[in-house]
Amino acid sequence: MTTRLSAFRSVALGTISVIGALALWEIVGLAGVSSALPPFHEVALALVDLLTSDAFQESVWFTLTAIAIAFPLTVAAGLILGSLMGLIRLLRWMFDPYMTLALSVPLVAIIPILINLFGFGRVTIIAVIVVYTLPVVVVNTVAGFDSVDPDQVAMARSFGASRLLLLRRVLLPTAAPLAASGVRLAAGRAIKGAIVGEQIVGLVGMGGLIQRFGGAFAVEDLYAAIVFVGILGIVVVNLLTRLERRVPA
Amino acid sequence: MIDINGVTMTFERDGVPFTAVEDIDLTIADGEFASIIGPSGCGKTTLLKIIAGLVTPTAGTVTVDGNVIDGPGPERALVFQNFVLLPWASVLDNAAFGLEARGVAKEERRRIAREQLAKMGLSGFEQHYPRELSGGMQQRVGIARALAVDPSNLLMDEPFGALDALTRQLMQKDLLDLWEEAEARTAAFVTHSMDEAVYLSDRIVLMNTRPGRIEEIIEVPFPRENRADVVSQADYNEFTRYLWSRLEGMQRADMDTRGADG
């Protein structure tokens, strides 16, 4: 009962906070503080217009399909690579430096290389998403295997459990929650990667659209597109969080 | 039967060799309940892990039921101090884990696990998860898991050490009752508690520190059948007083040497 009440409270407070921020935005926008900040209602109207425009729908389609192809691919590859690195020390030593590198280096810098390799189309964007998300899934999965309790392993061994049973009954269930939160984090980064990649390419997808709006000083459209991406991010991450809760630990 | 022959275990600790146990000779007969007691650092848990086959000694051999061991085996089962249940598995699946490890078919292992849980007073909790159970109940699952594989040798590492005093007493009594039923079982029971050792055992193995070694092996002079009644008798007090003086002496000597080292 308490949890349900506090869940309701957190939703209510979140809603109030968003409404408050939008109201503040509207007031500051109406006051005409800066031409870079139009009032919220103009952005909302621009968003309604955008949603019905062909160019926008095409861009959204492009970005979503790139994510839909890249994300499952990365999650599968990341979970497998992360599990192997978690289980086999040799592989961990081999791949750890690259994961650390990928998490600390600004990935924007390598996008031009990917453009050189794959051109200005969808393949480049998919590659950018993979590069953005893979390390997060891998590192979290490895951390999951690291959190295995040595006592559990000793227990399984004392009963003569096979390696397969140890994996199935002890190692995988231990690693699963952290691996799942890696997947959730990766979903946010997948959207980020797609938009950033498209902005650099400049021609395709929602990132391209945002780039063009920015270049043309179409401030209302620019904000509308950003708001749309924000909503998309919240929806995707929430969906995955829900899915994560459903998966039995 | 457990036969320990000249077992020594040396670790590297911070680059310095450290002898956990040295030249241990001990035989625990079929059906005997032996407690291993001593100050912390005397190597009693290491010794139990060696018997379990989880740790390979640097020297010496352990023979269990006539075979020299080189790892865990089906004739032994271990009960852990902190229960070590799988939090994501039901009570029933936890109790059945040892059988699953031994490749017993699902229906059969569930039937046996259910039976053992019933003996431990846990009927009706099969579908619960460990976190929903009290510490005492969790350890009952731990014991059911060990007994489910029907080991001729039961190894217990301070199994009641993490429980409150009342639960502890109840568990001791239940374990003893269970023991009466299964005559052929041999037990090695590591404990910190003198009363517990006296209450449960046929023999008490006193271990001392630096290096871990056997100081004395003491027969408990009361029949196991009526331990509960014996607790109030005068000679019981005399016996525990003797045991306490030995333990106290070892503990103080250990503190002195550590003080001198520092």
Residue A239: give its domain's CATH number.
Answer: 1.10.3720.10
CB neighbour list of residue A174: distance below 8 Å, 6 or more residues apart: A144, A145, A147, A148, A149, A152
Say yes or no: B139 and B158 in one domain.
Answer: no
Does residue B27 contact residue B3 with C-beta atoms inside 8 Å? Answer: yes
Say yes or no: A110 and A58 in one domain.
Answer: yes
Identify whether B157 is part of a domain.
yes
- The mean pLDDT of chain B is 86
Say yes or no: A95 and A72 in one domain.
Answer: yes
Say yes or no: B139 and B124 in one domain.
Answer: yes
Mean local confidence (pLDDT), A64-88:
91
pTM, entire model:
0.79
Identify whether B129 is part of a domain.
yes
Say yes or no: B64 and B160 in one domain.
Answer: yes
Identify whether B116 is part of a domain.
yes
Say yes or no: B114 and B210 in one domain.
Answer: no
Q: Is the pLDDT assigned to residue A128 strictly greater than 50?
A: yes
Which residues of chain B neighbour A248 with C-beta distances below 8 Å?
Answer: 88
Say yes or no: A30 and A95 in one domain.
Answer: no
Q: Which residues in chain A (14-53) have CB-CB distances under 8 A to chain B?
A: none
Say yes or no: B61 and B156 in one domain.
Answer: yes
Expressed as residue numbers, the domain containing B124 is 87-150
Identify whether B254 is part of a domain.
no
- What is d(CA B10, CA B30) in angstroms, rounded to the nearest whole number? 29
Residue A71, pLDDT score? 92
CA of A243 to nearest chain B CA: how many angstroms apart?
A: 18
- Name the residue in chain B with its Cα closest to that of A247: B88
Say yes or no: B160 and B52 in one domain.
Answer: yes
**B82, B89, B97: residue with CB nearest A159:** B97
Expressed as residue numbers, the domain containing A230 is 38-246
Say yes or no: B156 and B235 in one domain.
Answer: yes
Say yes or no: B165 and B144 in one domain.
Answer: no
CA of B98 to nearest chain A CA: how many angstroms apart?
A: 5
Say yes or no: B111 and B208 in one domain.
Answer: no
B258 shares contact with chain A (CB less than 8 Å): no
Residue B230, pLDDT score? 66
CA distances from A95 to A85, A98, A185, B208 (A): 8, 6, 20, 47
At position A220, the amino acid (one-letter code) is E
CB neighbour list of residue A196: distance below 8 Å, 6 or more residues apart: A107, A108, A111, A128, A132, A207
What is the domain count for chain A? 2
Mean local confidence (pLDDT), A2-8:
70
What is the domain count for chain B? 2
pLDDT in tens, B203-238: 999 888 888 888 889 888 777 776 666 666 667 777
A156 shares contact with chain B (CB less than 8 Å): yes
